[in-house]
Amino acid sequence: MRDDAQPVIRLRPKTDVRAIRHGFPWIYADQAVTDRRTRAIAPGSFAVLEDAERQPLALVTVNPESKIIARVMDRDPAARIDADWLEGRLSRALAMRVRLYDQPFYRLIHAEADGLPGVIIDRFGDLAVIQPNAAWADRMAAEIAEAVVRVTGVGTVILNGSGRARGLEGLGERAEVLIGSAPATPIEVPMNGAIYMADVMGGQKTGLFYDQRPNHAFASRLAEGARVLDVFSHVGGFGLAALAGGAVQATCVDGSAPALELAAQGAAAMGAADRLTTRKGDAFAQMEALAAEGARFDLVVCDPPAFAPSKQALEAGLRAYERVARLAAPLVAPGGYLGLCSCSHAADLTAFRTASARGIGRGGRQAALIHTGQAGPDHPVLPQLAETGYLKALFFRLDG
């Protein structure tokens, strides 16, 4: 909740306010007047955003310790961020997911695109995991959890406070059960006919990546009767989807032994344990080793971590994506398929596609692009904020 005496944050003169009026949700530190009073505002507090002429624009949350000094909470400067406000945003998000998915396994809140800045909430049946990546959400985590329970009816809410985004906000790592009790075993998550195992307490991020769901489905269509290689597999994302699609064999490569164990458990839950093999190790080294062994696969998919998480890392990141394509292409059997993915928002689709095509060529192969994918509709994109449309998936047919 906010105080009646609301702080004010003001834009600098000559700052173009049109982007903010048209939906851009962030105000950077160099766009705001950062005087002593502004710097004294506690991170996560709410304030009224004014233009240089002192005209109210919106209600924002302020964090003087972040390069994003303010995030738009509500276009109404008089809005009150309380239980009713939270439930309204959550109810709107839930209504869309219920239309889209037959089972309660999805991303419930995708940050700014769902009107809750810096907040990620993934739902796993009767359990929800919150990632509060903004100071206001970290401060109000208990209130958000209570609203999630009232709106969705879940019995358990877990806070997973880790990752790069929290560091940029000046937030430390934290993990705790906010409501209910932690599950004793990984949660079975059905998607695209496969079963994934989500470790919501000790796994990466919230325990599972829902964003690749439509791309898993596309890969599954290519997998019938195929030998499949899933590189950077995490808990078996593309590998298990391929098994569900009728692959005769899938190999998952990842550097994490716990992730590969969860992949094996998922395959067992599907009755496909005998069709899954795993290889633990550095993905680049493993692709080189497979090439030396003469291994060939009908479908190879590489879904690496974000090699270009910022503009400063873009050049090196694109070189890494090119290297992935160069090493993966020779592993594809003639007439087979290669899927390449990027979750780096700094690398746009054109740059990623160019790096991928260059890598395939350097790998000695010719390719035709047959499909371009993105995250599923439970990861809506805010048109004004490119960061919400971070995921790209390219599928090529390799002829030569």
Residues catalogued as catalytic: 343
Rounded Cα distance, 157 and 142, in Å = 9
Which one-letter amino acid corresponds to residue 324?
V
As a three-state string, the secondary structure of 172-230 is CCEEEEEECCCCCCCEEEEECCEEEEECCCCCCCCCCCCCCHHHHHHHHHHCCCCEEEE
The tokens describing 13, both together, are 């003169």
Contacts of 217 (CB under 8 A, 6+ apart): 192, 241
> From start to end of the chain, where are the E strands?
8-10, 26-28, 45-50, 56-62, 68-74, 105-110, 119-124, 127-132, 156-161, 174-179, 187-191, 194-198, 227-231, 249-254, 276-280, 297-302, 332-342, 367-373, 392-398
Rounded Cα distance, 333 and 336, in Å = 5
Look at the block and give the residue holding tokens 């496969």. Answer: 194
Which one-letter amino acid corresponds to residue 37?
R
The tokens describing 262, both together, are 């969860």
Rounded Cα distance, 341 and 262, in Å = 21
The answer to whether 156 and 181 have CB atoms below 8 angstroms apart is: yes
Look at the block and give the residue holding tokens 């371009």. Answer: 372
